[in-house]
Amino acid sequence: MSRIGKYSIGPVCLVAASMVLPLTTVAGEIGDIQWHGYLTSAVMTSSDGNYSGDVSDAGGAKDTRMGLNISTQVDESLNFAAQLKAKGTEDFKMELDWAFASYDVSESTTLRFGKIKYPVGMYNEFIDVGYTYPWIRPPEGFYNQDAVGPNLTRVSYQGFGADFNTYSGDTELGFSLFGGVVDVPDGHVNQLVGVKLSANMEDEIRFELSANTGVMEVDNTFGRQMMMDGERHTTYTAGVIVDLTNFILSSEFGQAIMGRKIAGNRPMDTTSGYVMMGYRMGEYMPHITWEQWDVDGGWGQEVIGVGLRKELTTNSALKFEVRQVTPEVTPKPAGGVGLFSDVPTEKDVTIVGVAIEMVF
């Protein structure tokens, strides 16, 4: 990563590239190259405590991020795509988000190889592209990767994916198989394998079921994470999105079962879920979300949030959000409670955020 002093030049490179590249691009035919990008500018503040490692009462703009996406059709069946990103939560370092080749075996079957976004969760594959969903942050009980307790989602994996699609009337049915290795801080998830079933009714109602399993390999020789070394964990998820002309509902539930037992139970087993409902009124969409994150060890949290999304143009939106986070009282082994890295003095913590989202 190129750096000048303490500043990362990643975002500068991305901005410069996004300004120059569209002038040279065409798309759609073999050999053509498509460039796209996304941009989020966001500020958030909490009434108390340090939330999720990057939101405090001092405020911050760490949800600010941008990405640049390239894809090209090599021949009638072979496609290559890659995405670079720079995020405030990762010190704006530019990195390769994903890059893979996909091969259309037939109209209904596609194979992928490379570094691929984790396909578990209905928003995870495009989780950095805020324009595609109502919230500033998708429900964190489901999508956050907390240091203590298992995460239901992971960023990207290196391996393969196979997608099979068919139609039953107007309903598109999908079956996906994926497997490989995930690099996580201080370790890896090996022997990863998962399946996903989906049904899509004219993009108005979408269902998804998934299951995946993997074995943790921890490089540390100390601490709580060491307990997971060599342990197999399994994750199940179920989700639905109803997206009608005005009404939108989104709900997902998941369970992660960790291999390690302590004193007769598995303190890091997780159940999480959320329900969001919104209603579009012209350019405005108010929405409300309830989410729950339960950990057997007792350090989960409950969140209720309301937000407003306003379409600015056909490719940009303004978002405003207020959430009340109520962490459970049992502190995490590593300190803190819920997604707080310390124990807040307030029982209910308010988090306020505003964001502008854009795709181009």
Least separation, in Å, of the C-beta of 212 and another protein? 17
Give min distance, CB of 293 to another protein, in A.
Answer: 25
Nearest to another protein of 174, 187 (CB atom): 174
Nearer to another protein (CB atom), residue 169 or residue 264: 169
Beta carbons within 8 Å of 222's beta carbon, 6+ residues apart? none
Smallest gap from residue 80 Cβ to another protein (A): 9
* Smaller CB separation from another protein, 92 or 98: 98
Cα(317)–Cα(11) distance, integer angstroms: 21
Q: How far is the CB of 31 from another protein (least distance, A)?
A: 12
The two structure tokens encoding residue 125: 């594959």
Beta bridge partners of 188: 183, 217
The CA radius of gyration of the chain, in Å to the nearest whole number, is: 21
Q: Report d(CA 167, CA 178) in Å as an integer.
A: 21
Name the residue nearer to another protein (CB basis): 266 or 287: 287
Report the residue number, 321 or 357, with the smaller CB distance to another protein: 357
User: What is the chain's length?
Assistant: 360
Cα separation, 360 vs 345, in Å, equals 42
Q: Specify the residue, 58 or 76, whose C-beta has the smaller distance to another protein.
A: 76
In angstroms, the Cα distances linking 308 to 248, 256, 278, 358 are: 13, 31, 9, 16
User: What are the tokens at 239?
Assistant: 């989700």
**Cα torsion at 224, 228, 230, 231 (round to 10°)?**
160
| DSSP sequence for 207-227 | EEEEEEEEEEEE--SSSGGGG
User: Minimum distance from CB of 359 to another protein (Å)?
Assistant: 5
C-beta closer to another protein: residue 200 or 235: 200
CB of 310 to another protein, least distance (A): 11
Residue (5 or 107) nearer to another protein, CB:
107
- Closer to another protein at the Cβ: 239 or 331? 239
Rounded to a whole number of angstroms, the minimum distance from the CB of residue 163 to another protein is 8
Identify which of residues 124 and 301 has a Cβ nearer to another protein in the complex: 124
Q: Indicate the residue type of 126.
A: F
Which SS3 state, helix, strand or coil, does residue 140 take? helix
Q: Please report how close the Cβ of residue 41 comes to another protein at its closest, in angstroms.
A: 17
Dihedral, CA of residue 98, residue 104, residue 110 and residue 115, to nearest 10: -20
Give the position of tokens 């995946």: 212
Structure tokens at 93: 């370092």
Distance separating alpha carbons of residues 251 and 199, to the nearest angstrom: 15
CB atoms within 10 A of CB 92: 22
Burial label, 170 (beta-carbon count in 10 A; 0-12, 13-18, 19+) = exposed
Query: What are the residues binding another protein (CB under 8 A)?
Result: 26-29, 32, 34, 36, 38, 67, 69, 71, 76, 79, 81-83, 98, 100, 102, 104, 107, 117, 125-126, 128-129, 131-132, 165, 170, 172, 203, 311, 314-315, 359
| In the complex, minimum distance from the CB of residue 2 to another protein, in angstroms, rounded to a whole number | 24
- The CB-of-26 to another protein minimum distance in angstroms stands at 7
